[in-house]
Amino acid sequence: MKRSGLLVAILLAALTVKADEGMWLLKELSSESVARMKELGFIFPADQLYDEDNPSLKDAVVIFGGGCTGVAVSDQGLIFTNHHCGYGAIQKLSEVEHDYLKDGFVAKLRSDELPADGLTVSFLRSMTDVTERIMPHVPSALGEIERENLIDSLTTALMEEYENDPFTSVRIIPFYSGNKYYMVLYDLFRDVRLVTAPPSSVGKFGGDTDNWMWPRHTGDFSVFRVYAGKDNRPADYSGENVPYKPKYVVSVSLKGVTDGDYAMTIGYPGSTQRYMSSWGIRQRIESENKPRIEVRGAKQDIWWDAMTKNDTIRIKYANKYAGSSNYWKNSMGMNEALSNLGVLPEKEKLEARLTEWINGSPVRRAGYGNTLATLEDAYTGSGDLALYITYFIEVFNNGIELIRFANTILQFDSDGTEEEKQAFIIDRFIEAYKNYEPALDRKALPVLMKLYAERVPEQYHPDIYQKVKEEFGGDYEQYADWLFANSRFTSLEDLLELLKSADTQILTQDPAMELALSTADTGYELSEQIMPAYEKMLKGEREFMAALMEMDADKIFYPDANFTQRMSYGTVSGYQPRDAVWYNYYTTSQGILEKQKPGDPEFNVQEYILAAIRSGDFGRYAGPEGVMRINVLSNNDITGGNSGSPVLNGNAELVGLAFDGNWESLSGDILFEPEMQRVISVDIRYVLYMIDKVMGASHLIDELKLVRK
């Protein structure tokens, strides 16, 4: 998940790389890392991991959508990823009459595969170091904001040659706290089709209750196919397109894994703050996680109540609810884990060691003497503002949906051509309103506005609060009734009619726009007030990384995750969460039978699936003891964005799909704890069993390159 620029995490210090810690760039993989991988059981040729001129493993691992990973498993463009990664596309294709979320989906023929409008799959083309094309043009005397703006201009110029190519995605990304820059190119495929999705009773088994938990019994997978033009190049959707032939396809292992086996993930981890200071961690706990937990909890209670009572609302809000609740629970787990693992004292020890090192030399004092003080002042001086900003973002940006619609209207060009207007409407509104329930937003608005008023000082209340006080006696329910009765933004039909004739003045008089403009003004004010602290954070971050690498010059540093392709290596392993408790490294189908609850929205399983499991007819997909293994643990280093990442054995054969972490290690974005941190993956044999034996899609199994030994 992207972090808000207002609350950017600070890359502050580094710890000795220990055990199997690290999300490594394949292009920068060191001989030391390869040696460690071989020690753990890696036997695949290391030079076939990353190669821009010849087919290599990097060519099989894709960005799926905007924030997940997938893997190419057939020479016909078949992609395996998580169910929750495909969830948005499945939801968009679902209706009450064709409820693919509830019932699942199987395309028996290629012609039955469903185009997933708006879904993209990106294959990595190349990574080029462009540091020397940027940094020599950045004067050291610039202030941090000026420096960032100049770098933005320089990187924009470097990307200009690709701006008119709709099938090339380009990003220039900072690494090592802005001390290195890579230009990353992707082949962007826009014709992606749903092939198979299990029912949510499989793909989302356990719901929020089991999310981030072990033991787990979730079949978190879905199958899509990438289509290309007849030249095997990316193309817009067309009935004439053909399945894409990837440069490299991963083989699928039927052998499974055992305790201590080598395990490797390759994927696109989104964001970590492994080198955050103790002051940054405190702000994360108090000013970000806690308010996020409170606001999302209130909103989700309203949504969930409606979703469990109405199938239409359930389908509309399924993807939005899943996205909101995932990081709601993550925030709770992170705060608990940070406390239990004693992360703050460890960070303070590191800062003390750094202070001693800096003070040991006049040269170091001249270069870094103010670095820690700058960071401490930036965080401690902005804690309250960061708290108010989180409440603001969660209530007004992420909570009240009508505000988002109104803000989008501000980008509408009423003087544009009819073609431009229509394209804007289709892109921004049609799908959004399809998944919007005004009555539900009406329920959420007064609850969230009241919560904001109680938690944030009046000086940071949008002006609309004065209107609520003067015209509605401070009654948020009355205000909500009035707003939703009088705004034309609550109906797509009314909004489109309004856009045909309304000028800016008429639009801004709508109650929804009045609310949005009022909150926008407060957002700008909060942003301006925190900007000086943000600038200090940027300065401290950059200086401290340089100091750290100088102090520990003999250590290997890996950059924080930034949604670029990374690999991690480790082993299959259970763990001990607390005294006298040991968790095995795998779960079986018996756990599904034990957990399933008829009628329960999280644990209900259709009878035909239960009957298949009870029969014990698992065939070649069974584990060595004759049972079906469902989920597997390994100690790989991953984070959000890695969802859907292939879990590979020492031969680089697919043994699972990573989909979650464990509760005890939810501090992992800040600290890797090898004794506790585990990746939860779905055993690929369970995926194949569901596709073949339960869903009757054996034709897909025929596309795979299966390895039995």
Residue 577 burial class via C-beta count within 10 angstroms: exposed 0-12, middle 13-18, buried 19 and up: middle
CA–chain centroid gap for 651, Å, is 28
| 3-state SS, residue 301 | helix
**Helix axis angle, 511-551 relative to 383-392, nearest 10°?**
140
Pick from 610, 658, 551: nearest CA to 13: 551
Pick from 283, 320, 321, 285: nearest CA to 301: 321
User: Beta strands 252-253 and 706-707: pairing type?
Assistant: parallel
Catalytic-residue membership of 521? no
Phi, psi of 199, deg, nearest 5? -60, 155
Pick from 479, 495, 361: nearest CA to 424: 495
Catalytic-residue membership of 126? no
Pick from 588, 656, 587, 591: nearest CA to 628: 588
Catalytic-residue membership of 617? no
Give CA–CA dist 128/482, Å, rounded: 56
- Non-local CB neighbours of 94 within 8 Å, separated by 6+ positions: 100, 101, 102, 315
Q: Which of 122, 382, 643, 645 is catalytic?
A: 643
Q: Which of 59, 187, 210, 220 is catalytic?
A: 220
How many of the other CB atoms lie within 10 Å of CB of 474? 13
Pick from 121, 260, 252: nearest CA to 646: 252
Q: Are 658 and 194 in contact (CB under 8 A)?
A: no
Phi, psi of 244, deg, nearest 5? -75, 140
CA–chain centroid gap for 311, Å, is 27
- Non-local CB neighbours of 678 within 8 Å, separated by 6+ positions: 214, 573, 575, 633, 634, 635, 661, 662, 665
Give CA–CA dist 512/479, Å, rounded: 11
In eight-state DSSP terms, residue 345 is H
Question: At residue 45, what is the residue type?
Answer: P
CA–chain centroid gap for 228, Å, is 26
In eight-state DSSP terms, residue 239 is T
Q: Which of 83, 84, 217, 461 is catalytic?
A: 84
Phi-psi bin for 69: left (phi > 0), alpha (psi -120 to 50), beta?
beta
Give CA–CA dist 118/435, Å, rounded: 15
Torsion of CA 688, 647, 670, 24, to 10 degrees: -150
- Non-local CB neighbours of 641 within 8 Å, separated by 6+ positions: 67, 68, 69, 267, 268, 269, 270, 271, 561, 563
- Non-local CB neighbours of 339 within 8 Å, separated by 6+ positions: none
Positive or negative CA dihedral for 278, 281, 283, 285?
negative
First to last CA, the chain: 38
Pick from 700, 699, 706, 687: nearest CA to 83: 687
- For the annotated catalytic residues, the residue numbers are 84, 220, 643
